[in-house]
Amino acid sequence: MSETVLQGRGICKSFGTKRDRRQVLFDVDIDVRERECLAIIGASGSGKSTLTRVLFGLEPADSGEITYRGQRLSPSHDSAASRALRDETGLVFQDPFGSLDPRWRVARTVGEPLRLRRDGPGDDEIVSRVDRALRAVGLDPKTFAARYPVDLSGGQAQRVAIARAIVADPCIILADEPMSAIDVAARVRILDAFAAIRQANPGMSLVMVSHDLGVVQHIADRVMVLHDGRVEESGPTARILGDPRTAYTRSLIEAAS
Ligand code: ADP
Ligand code: MG
């Protein structure tokens, strides 16, 4: 079995004020292993986005412990482990245009993570890595590098966001419902892009939050089911989808088919 890269233990998280508090994560354990694609599924509002945001250090947990490569993340996110996680993670979210700066050409957007690096590569190297990342997601740099977001379709914009997520060779990609805002015809290309990226980077892990069980079946090695902020069950994709152990998981599968 491959090693765990990113691990959460006993994660609890609430929102609201002291008087009006709502707990959304209850004692969640999660493991992301090297090389795998882990899918997180669950009804809308079950806590998938909150869990991934907390796990990747984008938001603090109320309690619990998160470790990256065996080193504990600090609550204030200024530890070496927190910095390493930030540097070695690529993020893709639901709304592609929301995450692209409308004033920036595609080449600048995709190259930004390299420019933000301390000891990052020089300009020529950035250009060639941006070209490589664009090709990896099926976008010809000659056509797309100089475009602005306004001249992209939703699917193209999301592939630009994915190119940005992979340009610095991340160890883990977090993709939170990357296809749900994309029209059906373009989803296939995005799925193909993820599959190609995994093939080209076999050491990388992918955490994919998705409503689409067809996508999950196609790409995930393991599935974790969240139900009202608790882990309902988790296991190999074929087992979860083929032999769900709980009524909740069965209802998710039935709703999708
Ligand atoms: P999912 O991604 O599974 O749809 P979320 O993690 O987005 O679920 O949300 C889980 C619950 O937490 C929801 O009830 C949502 O309204 C609530 N929630 C999420 N983010 C916030 C926030 N920043 N402030 C208050 N409540 C939030
Ligand atoms: Mg969500």
pLDDT in tens, 146-187: 999 999 999 999 999 999 999 999 999 999 999 998 998 899
Q: What is the pLDDT of residue 18?
A: 86
Residue nearest to atom 14 of ligand 1 (CA): 45
Atom of ligand 1 nearest to the CA of 209: 2
pLDDT(1) > 70: no
The long-range contacts involving 124-129, CB below 8 angstroms and separated by at least 24 positions, are 129/167
Q: What is the pLDDT of residue 78?
A: 74
Mean pLDDT of 131-138: 96
Contact predicate 130/107, CB 8 Å: yes
Read off the pLDDT of residues 11-33 as tens digits, 9 standing for 90 and up.
999 999 889 999 999 999 999 99
**Interface ipTM:** 0.98
Per-residue pLDDT band for 120 (boundaries 50, 70, 90) equals: confident
Burial class (CB in 10 A: 0-12, 13-18, 19+), 140: exposed
Read off the pLDDT of residues 49-91 as tens digits, 9 standing for 90 and up.
999 999 999 999 999 999 999 999 877 667 889 889 999 999 9
Residue nearest to atom 12 of ligand 1 (CA): 24
Ligand 1 contacts CB of residue 129 (under 6 A): no
Mutate to test the pocket of ligand 1, among 17, 50, 51 (most ligand atoms within 8 A of CB): 50
Q: Extract the tokens encoding 87.
A: 């540097």
State whether residue 115 is helix, strand or coil.
helix
Helices 123-136 and 154-166: angle between axes, nearest 10 degrees: 130
Residue nearest to atom 15 of ligand 1 (CA): 45
Mean pLDDT of 246-250: 97
Ligand 1 contacts CB of residue 49 (under 6 A): yes
